[in-house]
A and B are shown apart, each in its own frame.
Chain A
Amino acid sequence: MIHISKRVDFTLFKGKAAGLNRYVGWGVRLIAVLLSLVVSGLIIFAITRLNPLKVYGVMANGVFGTPRRTWAWLRDLALLLCISVGLAPAFKMRFWNIGAEGQVLVGGLATAACMIFLGGSSIPSVPLLILMAFAAMAAGAAWGVVPAVFKARWNTNETLFTLMMNYIAIQLTLFFIPKWEHPKGSNTVGLINAVTNRGWITPIVSADAISKMDQNAWTTQLIRNTVGQSYFINVLIVAAITVGMYFYLCRSKHGYEIAVVGQSENTARYAAMNVKKVIIRSMTLSGAICGLGGFLAVAGADHTISTATAGGRGFVAIIVAWLARFNTFVMVLISAMLVFLEKGAIAIASEFSLSNDVSNIITGIILLFILGSEFFINYEIKFSKRSGKGA
């Protein structure tokens, strides 16, 4: 007979795992990744007759081959991580916020609106960017707080509510695209302020300044590849949010309230918490950070707005948040891996002129193994002989 028993217990507030050595856990995950590489290697060979090692090499090269590619990876990683971190307080409170997609989109919309309407104003760049970030957070917060208020007041179903808010955000974007379209007739917004770069997140050290430095010094190279990159600020902002959110959730009074409300409203009331206030406050925060994700996508990466600005990241972030069990540091690893797979898949597809489906197969296999390994980490499987004459 096979016995399956749970062995890992997570304490909710501090998010610690009890019952399993953490190194064993990471060992199991590592084995899962290696196994998935072997299996997808076999499948790659069976379908395409390509050398799997070469394929993986192309994948790695496609993501880390040049500093530019690495920075594109970091940019996408930061965006996905930002949204996942934003979802953490909601999910930890057991508030099923599947509206991140919409919250990102309205955040992006607010950012784009600021760029378009304030681009010609005399506000200096840094205050303008700060203003844009706040506008994006306000828009995202509004999208998050509406379902929260309804949930707190009338106990409506937040899953449906947040999902439907996504469609409103998409329709709203579709409404504004023709109004802001550029060039006329393209039915896209195009690069906003392409000439002035107003409202674009720019490198801390400009390319001009770097060109004046000693080109042979290794420090110049370092500066060029870190603070000289425009995505550096994206990464910096998300890193700060990630660390901040960890301490907010696992050490602060608010984080404690979130953990208790998520477990039992009765206990929360017993503990003299204002449940409604906690729900509304946490969802405001969640929506605001997702909205900030929209700001990073528009001001820090795309410099335009379309219905694809969020690009499904609002949903992928749900996987990231859950796999990490709301530990924001684990989210870094998971989003890094997911973005790597996504970018690597595109690289093999173009290098070997394969269809996207083949790369999706690889991504799928690797994800399956990693998700599957969670089962073996969380549960213990014992094989035991059935004894006794009664059997």
Chain B
Amino acid sequence: MLPAGGFAPPGICTLKEGMGLENISKVAPPEETAAAAERVPAVRMEGITKTFGPVTANDNVSLDIYNGEILSLLGENGSGKTTLMNMLSGIYYPDAGTISVNGKPVSIRSPKDAFDLHIGMIHQHFKLVNVLTAAENIILGLNEKFRLDLKGVRRSVAEICERYGFEIDPDKKVYDMSVSEKQTLEIVKVLYRGADILILDEPTAVLTPQETQRLFGVMRNMKADGKSIVIITHKLHEVMAISDRVAVLRKGAFVGSIATKDTDPQQLTDMMVGHAVTLNIDRPEPVNIRKCLEVENLSVVDIEGVTKLDSVSFTAYGGEILGVAGVSGSGQKELLEVIAGLQPARPGSSVIYTDMEGRTSSLLGKTPMEIKKLGVHLAFVPEDRLGMGLVGDLDIADNMLIRTYTDGSSMFVDMKKPRRLAEEIVHDFEVVTPGITTPVRKLSGGNVQKVLVGREISGKPSLLMSAYAVRGLDINTSYTIYRLMNEQKQRGAAVIYVGEDLDVLLELCDRILVLCAGKVSGIVDGRNTTKEQVGLMMTHLGLPEEAAE
């Protein structure tokens, strides 16, 4: 018999109104309350509220950050993680609530105030000047002396690098740097300015697994040095690997904080989402495989003469999901755009499309219109959703027209069909919007993507290409997208899925094409390959065995 009030049976973690939260503290981590109750937190945020117009980004959030700990700030997109940290780094000012640093109440009105309090934030989008060197970027804005003391800067930079295990060349120009180097520079810049409290906003989003490991090493060194580190992320395995404590936000409100060793990904997900979620991605066995797209010897050179793709060959089959992995900028964008007719290829390349009846046609050298007229049902979810896939200033219904506005012989567009399609998509995919006449620019990232993916699959594609389809989306929406990809695969479409999260690629895709600097590093089976192997192939050409030599 169930107890009155609907208590969950022991062992099952439901998070209704604080039930099953015995080991989650609302105020301070468990060990703090027990062992060092008097220990003063490096930063204490109390009752922080911040609203933007009608949107409450943070609602009465209280959070402590201690010296010598790595705190993960976990939450779905739009849960207010970055807003909260931006108030600590002086970008926003809270509407209500107090912030104390080392026990003293402070008012942080600008990034400079934050620096004076030794708080430094590394933003998701780097704030570096491309034409300056690393050393010049580091002293930029530190207008202390009349004369530039670059020598002194180099010395201190070298010192910081040695202490924490960074590698950085102070004379290298930023435009010559890789993403990982730029990030290192941002961290060094913040440390040079004397930060003791470092906030990293989704630092691993742009890194390979190997680079992530290196970053984690550095973070551990900094922690050993007594610094407080806050890492904003929504990748659970990273939370488990690096942090001492996890604080979870949901829809702007503080859910709780918990010591990492006392929790597991499932519980964290449930806290993040607010209800139980299964974390497994389906991978139905491919059936009725047929050849759909044959790419051979594909090379692409951009306007500046840089080779973006070099002799790429692969075949995509209807009824399977072909993943594409690679460090960002390895030619993924060009690959998809060439197939869609948006970029020219070098002579000698060939892209052959085979339709359901087995007829073949070459897609190269054709405009998107010509490809459409060939009867190729090509769906393309580009990386740049509002800059390519949709028009931000058009409403949802008008955005449906992008693929179909030429239909019919009338000079005027058919207004009814797109409206019906928009209503269907809003209904079927639970798009949160005031109505179909809302400009898509006003929708949140996840809803924008639902509109885009919904439109693309509404054309019943035989070839579906998607680039970073779940980037920036919350867990629920991401799983919706995975489900839709699988549906298209089972419908018999060839799905090309360009992704960045290797865990997802390995769980979702049947085969994975690994790109390394525009070349094919190899095509592996998603069922029996490890993340490390793919990670190595992304950075070293060839299969892992050869790269290891």
Contact status A270-B412, CB under 8 Å: no
CA distance A257 to B398 in the complex (A): 11
User: B442 contacts the other chain (Cβ, under 8 Å)?
Assistant: yes
Residue of A nearest to B52 (CB): A5
User: B390 contacts the other chain (Cβ, under 8 Å)?
Assistant: yes
Contact status B95-A388, CB under 8 Å: yes
Nearest Cβ distance between residue A341 and chain B, in whole angstroms? 31
CA distance A99 to B535 in the complex (A): 56
- Chain B residues 384-407 with CB under 8 Å of chain A are 384, 387-395, 398, 401-403, 405-406
Cβ contact of B413, chosen from A256, A264, A272, cutoff 8 A: A256
Contact status B412-A266, CB under 8 Å: no
User: A390 contacts the other chain (Cβ, under 8 Å)?
Assistant: yes
A263: chain B residues within 8 A (beta carbon): 391-394
- Chain A residues 247-296 with CB under 8 Å of chain B are 247, 251-254, 256-257, 259-260, 263-264, 266-267, 269-274
Nearest Cβ distance between residue B104 and chain A, in whole angstroms? 11
Nearest Cβ distance between residue A248 and chain B, in whole angstroms? 9
Contact status A270-B369, CB under 8 Å: no
CA distance A264 to B107 in the complex (A): 42
Residue of A nearest to B367 (CB): A272
A259: chain B residues within 8 A (beta carbon): 391, 393-394, 398
Residue of B nearest to A11 (CB): B395
Nearest Cβ distance between residue A378 and chain B, in whole angstroms? 14
Nearest Cβ distance between residue B226 and chain A, in whole angstroms? 26
Choose the segment among A12-20, A75-83, A189-197 that binds chain B (4+ C-beta atoms closer than 8 Å). A12-20
Contact status B99-A390, CB under 8 Å: yes
B391: chain A residues within 8 A (beta carbon): 12, 259-260, 263-264, 267
User: B265 contacts the other chain (Cβ, under 8 Å)?
Assistant: no
User: A391 contacts the other chain (Cβ, under 8 Å)?
Assistant: yes
User: B478 contacts the other chain (Cβ, under 8 Å)?
Assistant: no
Contact status A390-B98, CB under 8 Å: yes
CA distance A266 to B405 in the complex (A): 17
Contact status A18-B402, CB under 8 Å: no
Mark each residue of chain A from 127 to 152: 1 if its CB lies under 8 Å from any CB of chain B, else 0.
00000000000000000000000000
Contact status B107-A391, CB under 8 Å: yes
Given the interface contacts A12-B394, A272-B367, A389-B98, does A18 sit within 8 Å of B388 by beta carbon?
no
User: A45 contacts the other chain (Cβ, under 8 Å)?
Assistant: no
B403: chain A residues within 8 A (beta carbon): 271
User: B53 contacts the other chain (Cβ, under 8 Å)?
Assistant: yes
Cβ contact of A5, chosen from B53, B390, B406, cutoff 8 A: B53
Q: Most chain-B Cβ atoms within 10 A of its Cβ — which of A12, A256, A266, A390? A: A390
A389: chain B residues within 8 A (beta carbon): 98, 105
Contact status B388-A266, CB under 8 Å: yes
CA distance A252 to B393 in the complex (A): 18
Contact status B388-A264, CB under 8 Å: yes
User: A9 contacts the other chain (Cβ, under 8 Å)?
Assistant: yes
Dominant secondary structure at the A interface: mixed
Contact status A270-B402, CB under 8 Å: yes
A211: chain B residues within 8 A (beta carbon): none
User: B382 contacts the other chain (Cβ, under 8 Å)?
Assistant: yes
CA distance A5 to B97 in the complex (A): 23
Given the interface contacts A253-B405, A264-B391, does A270 sit within 8 Å of B342 by beta carbon?
yes
User: A10 contacts the other chain (Cβ, under 8 Å)?
Assistant: yes
User: B8 contacts the other chain (Cβ, under 8 Å)?
Assistant: no
Which bucket holds chain B's interface residue count?
35 or more
Contact status A252-B412, CB under 8 Å: yes
Contact status A270-B380, CB under 8 Å: yes
Given the interface contacts A253-B405, A264-B388, does A390 sit within 8 Å of B368 by beta carbon?
no
Given the interface contacts A12-B394, A270-B402, does A388 sit within 8 Å of B437 by beta carbon?
no
CA distance A5 to B406 in the complex (A): 37
Total interface residues on A, CB under 8 Å, equals 37
Cβ contact of A11, chosen from B384, B398, B412, cutoff 8 A: B398
Cβ contact of B439, chosen from A18, A247, A274, A386, cutoff 8 A: A18
Contact status A251-B401, CB under 8 Å: no
CA distance A171 to B237 in the complex (A): 72
Given the interface contacts A12-B391, A18-B438, does A267 sit within 8 Å of B402 by beta carbon?
yes
Nearest Cβ distance between residue B432 and chain A, in whole angstroms? 16
CA distance A271 to B415 in the complex (A): 17
User: B1 contacts the other chain (Cβ, under 8 Å)?
Assistant: no
Cβ contact of B442, chosen from A9, A14, A251, A387, cutoff 8 A: A9
Residue of B nearest to A6 (CB): B53
Contact status B372-A272, CB under 8 Å: yes
User: B224 contacts the other chain (Cβ, under 8 Å)?
Assistant: no
CA distance A269 to B369 in the complex (A): 9
Given the interface contacts A253-B405, A256-B413, A266-B387, does A16 sit within 8 Å of B94 by beta carbon?
no
Cβ contact of B405, chosen from A12, A256, A380, cutoff 8 A: A256
- Chain B residues 401-430 with CB under 8 Å of chain A are 401-403, 405-406, 411-413, 415
User: B504 contacts the other chain (Cβ, under 8 Å)?
Assistant: no
B140: chain A residues within 8 A (beta carbon): none
A391: chain B residues within 8 A (beta carbon): 107
CA distance A269 to B372 in the complex (A): 13
Nearest Cβ distance between residue A372 and chain B, in whole angstroms? 22
Nearest Cβ distance between residue B345 and chain A, in whole angstroms? 16
Contact status B390-A267, CB under 8 Å: yes
Contact status B398-A13, CB under 8 Å: yes
Nearest Cβ distance between residue B93 and chain A, in whole angstroms? 8
A272: chain B residues within 8 A (beta carbon): 341, 367-369, 371-372, 406
CA distance A390 to B437 in the complex (A): 42
CA distance A271 to B379 in the complex (A): 11
User: B106 contacts the other chain (Cβ, under 8 Å)?
Assistant: yes
Cβ contact of B389, chosen from A5, A18, A267, cutoff 8 A: A267
- Chain B residues 60-105 with CB under 8 Å of chain A are 94-99, 105
User: B340 contacts the other chain (Cβ, under 8 Å)?
Assistant: yes
Cβ contact of B368, chosen from A13, A251, A257, A269, cutoff 8 A: A269
- Chain A residues 339-378 with CB under 8 Å of chain B are none
Mark each residue of chain A from 1 to 42: 1 if its CB lies under 8 Å from any CB of chain B, else 0.
001010001111110101000000000000000000000000
Residue of B nearest to A388 (CB): B96
CA distance A260 to B405 in the complex (A): 11
Contact status A10-B98, CB under 8 Å: no
CA distance A269 to B338 in the complex (A): 12
Chain B residues within CB distance 8 Å of chain A: 52-53, 94-99, 105-108, 340-342, 367-369, 371-372, 380, 382, 384, 387-395, 398, 401-403, 405-406, 411-413, 415, 434, 437-439, 441-442
Nearest 8 A-B pairs (CB), nearest first? A272-B368, A12-B393, A272-B369, A390-B107, A11-B395, A271-B402, A266-B388, A263-B391
Sample (7) of A-B pairs whose CB atoms are under 8 Å apart: A9-B393, A11-B395, A251-B412, A256-B398, A259-B394, A267-B388, A388-B95
17 new A-B contacts, CB < 8 A, other than A11-B439, A260-B394, A390-B94, are A9-B442, A11-B395, A12-B393, A13-B395, A247-B412, A251-B413, A251-B415, A253-B412, A256-B405, A256-B413, A259-B394, A263-B393, A266-B384, A270-B382, A272-B341, A387-B95, A390-B98
